[in-house]
Amino acid sequence: MKIEHLISQIKKKKSFLCVGLDTDLDKVPQHLLSEDDPIFSFNKAIIDATCEYCVAYKPNIAFYEAYGLNGWKSLERTMDYLNVEHPDIFTIADAKRGDIGNTSFRYAKAFFETLNFDSITVAPYMGRDSVEPFLEFKDKHTILLALTSNKGAFDFQTLDVEGKQLYKSVLRTSQGYKNAENLMYVIGATKASFLKEVREIVPESFLLVPGVGAQGGNLQEVCKYGMAKNIGLLVNSSRGILYASQGEDFAEKAGLKAKTIQEEMEVELDRLT
Amino acid sequence: MKIEHLISQIKKKKSFLCVGLDTDLDKVPQHLLSEDDPIFSFNKAIIDATCEYCVAYKPNIAFYEAYGLNGWKSLERTMDYLNVEHPDIFTIADAKRGDIGNTSFRYAKAFFETLNFDSITVAPYMGRDSVEPFLEFKDKHTILLALTSNKGAFDFQTLDVEGKQLYKSVLRTSQGYKNAENLMYVIGATKASFLKEVREIVPESFLLVPGVGAQGGNLQEVCKYGMAKNIGLLVNSSRGILYASQGEDFAEKAGLKAKTIQEEMEVELDRLT
């Protein structure tokens, strides 16, 4: 997907919500477990109930890998469903991959071609030749981990590296990679003030922001410090939507929750214009 | 596998060779391509020809993921074959995973339980709570990326962080994680002198060393600087063995190549005693 198309979808739907499809069979409503492919059944119901209110879906690949071959089948079916029924919705493989060049290229093919995702999250630790193979794909996007929303983020990401924090070095250095226009960044929302410093380095890049809601971030703060001229934000919610109810009304409740977030986002977008 | 068992296997076979199963259908001999599962057929032939000379196998997961569901089936069959026929051989999922706690735990389950690998490579960028879920598994090993063998390693891993290079900070900090005795480290062999500095921080940890041979490292140098009292080394070779020949004699040639490396290793091990 071209970035302009993502931006036009955000404006049309008045939403920059990304729904994280972290589907966990331990939390899926009981009545789905007797179905052939309960993960896909759950995802389909969630998608049908929330697609009006969001512009992106983000399956975290770990949740599918954990179920082996069956998990991969559910992921393929979910992606087929999204690609056929909702081609206007941006898809993110939350895979946090990264390897030496030749191998990163294979991951890129797996997610961008075999599964036809629009984007993938990638870890920066191995540097340029682990990231550039992803950047080669036209109209596909590489979302580099910069500052994550977990506690462990402070182990290395915020260490002082030659006068600046490591995550800033990741932002700056990666902007020099070939095809850097295909880069987006993961920036956790645990301290929204970080976003201000991020915007000094990458004023227009899209940021994928996890950690709003469940992990303590605040949408208004994120928008205040993080919104760019082209909006430049995708804010993710996973558990808060998926498991809004664990009863038979799970999809309806998920839809209501997504709608509530969309409405808050609409207020923020109106401020921009 | 208990670490003591790995060490006893190294002593018995006089080898610390790890064979990287980076199986690429573009490089597999033509005559295998007509088989039902050419990846597994190739792997089985390579394993049968090299198992006498090595103590570990390391499939790089990207090569399997690139082929979608069929790739996962080939990986499962390969692991079943290794677990049943060669339970004394250490297995490494070269997956370079890492995510927030709950999600890392799912990756750990996928590789340690569903696929029954003895170990997995993990990226350190997200810190403690992305690594510790892997360390919880008894007799399973987490091989943290510290210093990789690619050019991009110098983008971030060797940056000066508060007076020391980032990869040393990764070594030191991770030694404070819970169950750190289950940690091993990836240390590229592009500059063997790095290994000396690594041994000052982790004198006894097992190191997985890629980049000997194809990527320019030298076995004698690696042993001089990297060998510990308990040996503490697994040296990987992938392409040099797998594609020693692309003809019908590929397995025989792979076996000969593995034997040559084993004999060089035997010389190094004899020096130790």
Q: Can you give the residue ranges of every domain in chain A? A: 3-187+198-272
pLDDT of residue A189: 80
Rounded Cα distance, A131 and A26, in Å:
34
Whether B251 and chain A come into contact, CB under 8 Å, resolves to no
Q: How confident is the model at residue A193 (pLDDT cuts 50, 70, 90)?
A: confident
Rounded Cα distance, B88 and B82, in Å:
9
Q: How open is the CA angle B70-B75-B81, to the nearest 5 degrees?
A: 125
**Cβ count within 10 A of residue B85:** 12
pLDDT of residue B255: 98
pLDDT of residue B162: 84
Q: Nearest CA to CA, how far is A150 from chain B (Å)? A: 6
**Closest residue to B155, CB basis, from A22, A109, A128:** A128
Whether B97 and chain A come into contact, CB under 8 Å, resolves to yes
3-class DSSP string for B4-44: HHHHHHHHHHCCCEEEEECCCCCCCCHHHCCCCCHHHHHHH
Per the CB < 8 A criterion, the answer to whether A21 and A242 are in contact is yes
Whether B58 and chain A come into contact, CB under 8 Å, resolves to no
Span B192-198, mean pLDDT?
89
pLDDT of residue A257: 96
Q: Find which of B23, B100, B112, B148 to mutate to test the A interface (most A CBs within 10 Å of its CB).
A: B100
Write down the ipTM of this complex: 0.94
Rounded Cα distance, A229 and A111, in Å:
30
Per residue in A253-271, pLDDT (tens digit) is: 999 999 999 999 999 999 8
Q: How confident is the model at residue B213 (pLDDT cuts 50, 70, 90)?
A: low
Question: Cβ contact (<8 Å) for B126 and A150?
Answer: yes
Span A220-240, mean pLDDT?
94
Rounded Cα distance, A161 and B174, in Å:
18
**Closest residue to B152, CB basis, from A63, A107, A127:** A127
Rounded Cα distance, B86 and B84, in Å:
6
Whether B22 and chain A come into contact, CB under 8 Å, resolves to yes
Q: Nearest CA to CA, how far is B198 from chain A (Å)? A: 18
Per residue in B77-131, pLDDT (tens digit) is: 999 999 999 999 999 999 999 998 889 999 999 999 999 999 999 999 999 999 9
Whether B161 and chain A come into contact, CB under 8 Å, resolves to yes
Q: Are strands B233-237 and B17-21 parallel, antiparallel or unpaired?
A: parallel
**Closest residue to A152, CB basis, from B115, B130, B161:** B130
Q: Find which of B23, B99, B132, B175 to mutate to test the A interface (most A CBs within 10 Å of its CB).
A: B99
pLDDT of residue B271: 86
Span A237-250, mean pLDDT?
94
Per the CB < 8 A criterion, the answer to whether A262 and A17 are in contact is yes
Mean per-residue pLDDT over chain A, rounded: 94
Rounded Cα distance, B121 and B60, in Å:
10
Rounded Cα distance, B121 and B254, in Å:
25
Rounded Cα distance, A149 and A153, in Å:
7
Question: Cβ contact (<8 Å) for A124 and B156?
Answer: yes
Q: Is A96 a catalytic residue?
A: yes
- CA B235, B236, B239, B245 dihedral sign is positive
Q: Which tokens go with B169? A: 């900070």
What is the CATH topology of the domain spanning A3-187+198-272? TIM Barrel (3.20.20)
Question: Cβ contact (<8 Å) for B159 and A161?
Answer: yes
List all residues 6 or more positions away from A247 whose beta carbon is below 8 Å from its beta carbon.
A29
Whether A145 and chain B come into contact, CB under 8 Å, resolves to yes
CA B233 from chain centre, in angstroms, equals 10
Q: How far apart are the first and last CA of chain A?
A: 25
Q: Which residue of B has its CA nearest to A103?
A: B62
Rounded Cα distance, A9 and A18, in Å:
12
What is the helix (H) or strand (E) element at residue B170, kind and residue range? helix B166-174
Q: How open is the CA angle A57-A158-A171, to the nearest 5 degrees?
A: 55
Per the CB < 8 A criterion, the answer to whether A188 and A149 are in contact is yes
**Cβ count within 10 A of residue A175:** 13
Per residue in B34-75, pLDDT (tens digit) is: 999 999 999 999 999 999 999 999 999 999 998 988 999 999
Q: Where are the beta strands (DSSP E) in chain B?
A: 17-21, 56-59, 90-97, 119-122, 141-147, 160-161, 164-165, 183-187, 207-209, 233-237
| A11, A44, A96, A224: the active-site residue | A96
Q: CB-hemisphere CA count at 13 Å for B256?
A: 8
Mean per-residue pLDDT over chain B, rounded: 94
Whether B80 and chain A come into contact, CB under 8 Å, resolves to no
Rounded Cα distance, A167 and B206, in Å:
29
B-contacting residues of A 185-244, CB under 8 Å? none
Question: Cβ contact (<8 Å) for B106 and A63?
Answer: yes
Burial of A36 (0-12, 13-18, 19+ CB in 10 A): exposed
Span B140-169, mean pLDDT?
95
Whether B33 and chain A come into contact, CB under 8 Å, resolves to no
Per residue in B222-268, pLDDT (tens digit) is: 999 999 999 999 999 999 999 999 999 999 999 999 999 999 999 99
Superfamily (CATH H level) for B3-272 = Aldolase class I (3.20.20.70)
Whether A154 and chain B come into contact, CB under 8 Å, resolves to yes
Question: Cβ contact (<8 Å) for B152 and A130?
Answer: yes
Whether A169 and chain B come into contact, CB under 8 Å, resolves to yes
Cross-strand pairs, A170: none
Q: Nearest CA to CA, how far is B225 from chain A (Å)? A: 23
Q: What are the angstrom distances between the C-alpha of A6 and each of A18, A141, A230, B91?
A: 12, 11, 10, 42
Report whether pLDDT(A214) > 70. no
Q: Which residue of B has its CA nearest to A100?
A: B150
pLDDT of residue B215: 52
Q: Nearest CA to CA, how far is A48 from chain B (Å)? A: 25
| B11, B14, B44, B96: the active-site residue | B96
Question: Cβ contact (<8 Å) for B125 and A130?
Answer: no
Q: Find which of A155, A162, A173 to mutate to test the B interface (most B CBs within 10 Å of its CB).
A: A155
Per residue in A73-126, pLDDT (tens digit) is: 999 999 999 999 999 999 999 999 999 888 999 999 999 999 999 999 999 999
